[in-house]
Amino acid sequence: QAQLVESGGGLVQPGGSLRLSCSTSGLNLDVYTIGWFRQAPGKAREGVASINTNTRSTRYAESVKGRFTVSRDNAKDTVYLQMNSLTPEDTAVYYCAAGFPITLVPGFIGTEDEYDYWGQGTQVNVSS
């Protein structure tokens, strides 16, 4: 019953901004951690950011810290990823996922197998 749907991807110029949305249903966001992952062609998925909506704690990969912000809306059904100062290296398919990561170290979002539910992804292309 749990579903996650990403939206907001597209083409943006370097230095620009983009806001991704993760619309959820069938999930208690006071329990699950929502993570954002990205995957570039030929590369493994990497964790970008996460939010625990119970504790309000957020985590960011070092590559995006200071540029990306993850948040939840007032209805607690949508999680956002605000991406600023985008570079071509940010080009990837971005996924949101729900799970219970337990490996809590700086700059580490969690492993893929720690997330139980995944969206279909949204393409982000940073190019001039």
Q: Is 114 helix (H, G, I), strand (E, B) or coil?
A: helix
Residue 17 phi/psi, 5-degree rounding, is: -130, 155
Neighbours of 64 (CB within 10 A): 24
50 - beta bridge partners? 35, 59
Please answer whether residues 79 and 34 qualify as being in contact, where contact means their C-beta atoms are separated by less than 8 angstroms: yes
State pLDDT tens for residues 46-73: 999 999 877 889 999 999 999 999 999 8
State pLDDT tens for residues 71-80: 998 677 899 9
Would the pLDDT of 29 be above 90? Answer: no
